[in-house]
Amino acid sequence: MPQLAWQKSSFSGDENNNCLYLAAAPDGTLRLRESDTPHEIIATTPAPLGHLIRAVGAGRWRGSGTAR
């Protein structure tokens, strides 16, 4: 796997190491990881991630794995 250019989320600023990082892979997918478990990487594409971000922003996400 090529080196990814990880970017820290602008909402991550916690001193308790609770940071989310995002990188674009050469195949067009997006990769996400947390600072406390950097070897666990989630791959997704822009559309599903955009849906999740909009659902969270609109308060439609419960955090239990299901949307309202």
Summarize pLDDT for 16-59 with one digit per residue, the tens: 667 889 999 999 999 999 988 989 999 999 999 999 889 888 88
Residue 15: predicted pLDDT: 65
pLDDT score, position 46: 93
The more confidently predicted of residues 14 and 23 is 23
Residue 4 pLDDT class (50, 70, 90 cuts): very high
* Per-residue pLDDT at 59: 87
Burial class (CB in 10 A: 0-12, 13-18, 19+), 61: middle
| H/E run at residue 37 | strand 37-44
